Homo-oligomer: A and B are copies of this chain.
Amino acid sequence: MHQPEHLKNAGLKSTVPRLKVLSLFESGQERHMSAEDVYKLLLASGDDVGLATVYRVLTQFEQAGLLVRHYFEGGKSVFELNQGKHHDHIVCLQCGRVEEFYDTAIEARQEKVAADRGFSIRDHALHIYADCTKKQCPHKV
């Protein structure tokens, strides 16, 4: 159990709701979750935290660098554990599943494009929306 240290290192005191949210992400059963997802999963497992707290904790974790926030189409933002290595996303339009990828060539070209125009990249988001052509696509999360 090393979550308390994660929180300490992030300058956050270790409280019950924070530990619950963090371990939900660390359980790995669901990598990308919205605030609502987290709230419902916690309720379902008997832990009752307030929805407002979930939102607060997610935002704090994002600022602390423990989680990364993504804005996909559809308005709601989703979070995932920050594992240091940047990556982009392919979102399956059939089932909503999210796959991650990293392409060196794309990353390099982006730097070039920005530099050519006099920009210095702070962040970027590449979201590919696609249909999964493989049969194993669940077609439902």
Q: Using a CB–CB distance below 8 Å, which chain A residues touch chain B?
A: 71-75, 90, 92-93, 99, 101, 103, 105-106, 109-110, 113-114, 117-134
Contacts and interface: CB of A to CB of B under 8 A. Distances in A.
A67 to B, nearest CB: 16
Residue in A72, A119, A124, A127 with the greatest tally of chain B CB atoms within 10 Å? A119
Max chain B Cβ within 10 angstroms of own Cβ: one of A73, A113, A124:
A113
Contact of A126 (B92, B117, B125): B125
Nearest to A134: B118
Given A90-B114, A105-B109, A124 B129 contact: yes
A131 to B, nearest CB: 5
